[in-house]
Chains A and B, each alone.
Chain A
Amino acid sequence: MSKLDVVGKSFPQIDALEKAMGKTKFVTDLALPQMLHGRVLRSPYPHAKIKNIDTSKAARLAGVKAVVTYADTPGIKYGPRTDDWTIFADDKARFYGDEVAAVAAVDEDTAEGALDLIEVEYEELPFVADPLEAMQADAPLVHDDKPGNIAAEFKVEAGDVDQAFKDSHVIYEDRYYTNQVYQAYMEPMGALAEIDKSGRLTLWTGTQIPNMMRMTYATALGVSADNIRVIVPDYGGAFGAKMENNVHLVAAILARKSGRPVRLINTRHDDFIAGNPRVPMYIDIKLGATKDGILTGKEVQVVGGAGARVVYSQVIVATACYRVDSLYRFKHVRSKGFTVYTNTVPTACFRGFGNSQMTFVLESALDMIAEQLNIDPVDLRLKNGIGPNETSVHGWKINSSGLKECVVKAAEKAEWKTKRGQKKPFKGIGLSCCNHVSGNRPFAREFDGGAGIVRIGRDGRITVYHGESDMGQGQKTTFAQIAAERLGVPLEMIYVADVDTDISPFGLGSFATRGTLMGGNGVLAAAKDAFKQLAETAAGMLEASAEDVRCRKGSFFISGSPEKSLPFKEVAAQATYDRHGAPVVGTGFYTPPTVLPDLETKYGNISPAYPFACQIAEVEIDPDTGQVTVTNFVGAHDVGRAINPLATEGQVRGGVTQGLGWTLMENMAYADGKLINPDFVDYIVPSALDVPEIKPILVEPIEPNGPYGAKGIGEPALNPTMSAITNAIYNATGIRIKELPVSPEKLLEEINKKRGQPTDNK
Chain B
Amino acid sequence: MAELLLKVEQVSVSYGAVQALDSVSLEVKEGEIVALLGANGAGKSTLLKSVMRMVPLKQGVISFRGENLSHSRTSGIVKKGMALVPEGRGILGTMSVKENLEMGAFHRTDWESDLKHVLELFPILSERLHQHAGTLSGGEQQMLAIGRAILSAPRLLLLDEPSLGLAPKIIQNIFKLIQKINSDGISILLIEQNAHMAIKVAHRAYVLETGHIVASGLAHEISSDEELKKAYLGG
The answer to whether A and B interact is no
Give the interface of B toward A (CB within 8 A): none
Give the interface of A toward B (CB within 8 A): none
